[in-house]
Chains A and B, each alone.
Chain A
Amino acid sequence: MTKTTKKKKKPAAKKPSTKVRKARLLVVDDEADFAKLIQTILTQAGYGVDTATSATQAIALQRKTAYDLAIVDLRMPEMTGIELLQYLKARDKAIFVILMTAYGSFSVGIEALRRGACDYVAKPFKNKALKDKVAEALHRRQLYLEEQHSIQRSSIDEL
């Protein structure tokens, strides 16, 4: 009982607060409760989080909002996490993706990184571990954007 009320409260509290620039996150997991849980954890950490329970829903959401980071479950019915990752990346190069796997083997992680994910987390994880990973990913994205920017700058300067 307490759990559900808590979860419902937090997303509601999140929506009106659009201060400076809040990182937009997308959580995709076919397990709706799990997606909600992550949403709660990350909303507490101060991010704007949307959830999707299927790959198609995730793609539809991406059309509306440009997300900074997606947290995608590896095993989903329609599309695997890696396929969705590639799809999302194809539409928006600047999106960073963290893969979640319930079968957290090292080789799955390597495979995810090779296919363009920036990190992976093994379920079940400690909440803090997830927050740390998200923070790190966003930091790396920032560095990446700055780098892209400076590259653009330099090419403009050359002209």
Chain B
Amino acid sequence: MPYTETHFLSFKTLIRIRTICLVLMSLLLWASEDIHSSPAVSAGWELLFISMVLSLVFGVLGKTKRLVVWLMPVVFIVDGVFVSLWIGISGGPVSFYAPFFLLVLVHAILVLQPRMAAMVTVILLAVFLGFFYLDYVWNLSSTFGATQINLVSNLLEHSPPEVRKAMYWQQGFRWFFFSVLMIIVTTIAMRQVWMREERLRVKERALEQKRHLIQMGEMTGRIAHGINTPLGLISGNLELLMGTITKSSKTYKSLDQINEYVQRAIRTVRDVLDYGRQSMSQIKMVSLPKIMAAVSAAVQPKLKKMNSHLILDIDPKLPEIKGYPEGLYQTLLNLIENAIDSLAKGGVVTLTAKFQLQSMRLSAGDHRGEIKIVIQDNGKGIPADKLSRVFEPFYTTKDFGKGTGLGLSIVKRIVDEHGGSIEVKSKVGTGTTFTLLFPVEEPRVDKADESEDFYYNKAEKTSKDLEL
């Protein structure tokens, strides 16, 4: 997002400041009667109108709409062009409109992402200097009678051409360096503020999370103690009891059934606790290929038993993601085990993992992306009426007693916790496909990427050469 909300300036405040500025500008425009009739003024009015409409659009849409995100830089450029033109008309860089130009720039720096702000700044400076040059060449200020507005221009007007030229250059350079200095200083200052706020926010979040985890730990601990102790007592005594009865008797069969149910309850509790525990583990940078290798190793015995195959197609250069290693391991293991369970003998499960750039990208240097993991099987599939319910807790399609039904709901929660998404598509008889997307917060290292691009370009080139 090119728009960054700072704590001290909310989006609404920014819009208000902007509107006030525009009104002020229009008042000034209206007040300077002597230049009312010029063509530049009518152009100025048009730009002002566009600017105001954009401001209105902003206010109505709010900052979240994609349109606003893209319009923001455009709006600043329109503003800047308008102000520059006005400065040009009203007596060059020495005009008292000139500070408005800086206002636009500072505004842009405050509101936009640094990279975007830099782009806007460069464009506006070019426009500003361009107008200044035009003013010098065509003498706009005097053409439109700006001399009466600005004393300095007035002075310039009556100087000999050489002096005029020298003074313009002097003024121009003064303004140019002043602007650049202002921009640099503001950027550095704002960055500091941003970083401090970001750090504060991260700290706060971590603290809150810690508190949450402690609470959760206490709760799960209490639940564990409260449930596991009776369960242990029941299962232990059952086993003792079963040891004293002959296996063929009816009582033994009943006890065996009870035991089966107790074991199921124990499994369920363990699943829930496993989930609680994974949330209590620390967030780390996780390498997915490593986790996938571990999962693949873990399911090998099962695969052999079923005479099935797991095909891995993992990009070894997958960037690391922030997350819970245990949770991610559990997630992938669960999905792959489910896939294997659905297979007929000799079936195939494929696990594909790739890095892809997010569809919305702001500039070539922006490497925000996501990891796409696809787990596909050619098993029996899930009927459509059950497909919508697979992520519900305690919903299971497996035979009674085989699964607790907690698996996919836990999987979903773990994926959600990583800011990711999970989707399932299935056709009876054809198989099931789970698609997981995990956002990659950290941008990829530019250098590596460049070298990669370089490599690819080279490869492309050579292949082309070969074709020729």
| CB atoms of A6 and B239 under 8 A apart | no
The reply to whether the CB of A2 lies closer than 8 angstroms to some CB of chain B is yes
| CB atoms of A40 and B231 under 8 A apart | no
Count A interface residues, CB 8 Å: 21
Given contacts A33-B233, A124-B235, contact A41 B228 (CB under 8 A): no
Q: Which of B224, B235, B236, B241 has the most CB of A within 10 A?
A: B236
* A127 neighbours in B (Cβ, 8 Å): 236, 239-240
Question: Which residues, 223 to 241 on B, are CB-close (under 8 Å) to A?
Answer: 224-225, 228-229, 231-233, 235-237, 239-241
Chain A residue with Cβ nearest B226: A102
| CB atoms of B277 and A123 under 8 A apart | no
Chain A residue with Cβ nearest B273: A103
| CB atoms of A31 and B229 under 8 A apart | yes
Given contacts A33-B233, A34-B233, A103-B273, contact A123 B241 (CB under 8 A): no
When each residue 85-117 of chain A gets 1 if its CB lies under 8 Å from chain B and 0 otherwise, what string results? 000000000000000001101000000000000
Main secondary structure of the interface of B (DSSP, over half): helix
| CB atoms of B244 and A41 under 8 A apart | no
* B69 neighbours in A (Cβ, 8 Å): none
* B294 shortest CB reach to chain A, Å: 15
* Assembly CA distance A117 to B405 (angstroms): 36
Question: Which residues, 356 to 388 on B, are CB-close (under 8 Å) to A?
Answer: none
* A9 shortest CB reach to chain B, Å: 11
* B214 shortest CB reach to chain A, Å: 14
* A31 neighbours in B (Cβ, 8 Å): 229, 233
Given contacts A102-B224, A103-B221, contact A34 B241 (CB under 8 A): no
The reply to whether the CB of A3 lies closer than 8 angstroms to some CB of chain B is yes
| CB atoms of B237 and A3 under 8 A apart | yes
The reply to whether the CB of B139 lies closer than 8 angstroms to some CB of chain A is no
Chain B residue with Cβ nearest A40: B240
Given contacts A124-B236, A124-B266, A127-B236, contact A102 B241 (CB under 8 A): no
* B228 neighbours in A (Cβ, 8 Å): 102-103, 122-124
When each residue 126-137 of chain A gets 1 if its CB lies under 8 Å from chain B and 0 otherwise, what string results? 110000000000
The reply to whether the CB of A61 lies closer than 8 angstroms to some CB of chain B is no
The reply to whether the CB of B404 lies closer than 8 angstroms to some CB of chain A is no
* Assembly CA distance A123 to B231 (angstroms): 8
Q: What are 15 A-to-B residue pairs whose CB atoms are below 8 Å?
A: A38-B236, A41-B236, A44-B240, A102-B228, A102-B229, A102-B232, A103-B221, A103-B225, A103-B273, A105-B277, A123-B228, A123-B229, A124-B233, A124-B266, A127-B239
Question: Knowing that A102-B225, A123-B232 are A-B contacts, what are 5 other residue pairs whose CB atoms are under 8 Å apart, sorted by A's residue number?
Answer: A31-B229, A37-B240, A103-B225, A124-B228, A127-B239
A positions within 8 Å CB-CB of B: 2-3, 6, 31, 33-34, 37-38, 40-41, 44, 75, 102-103, 105, 122-127
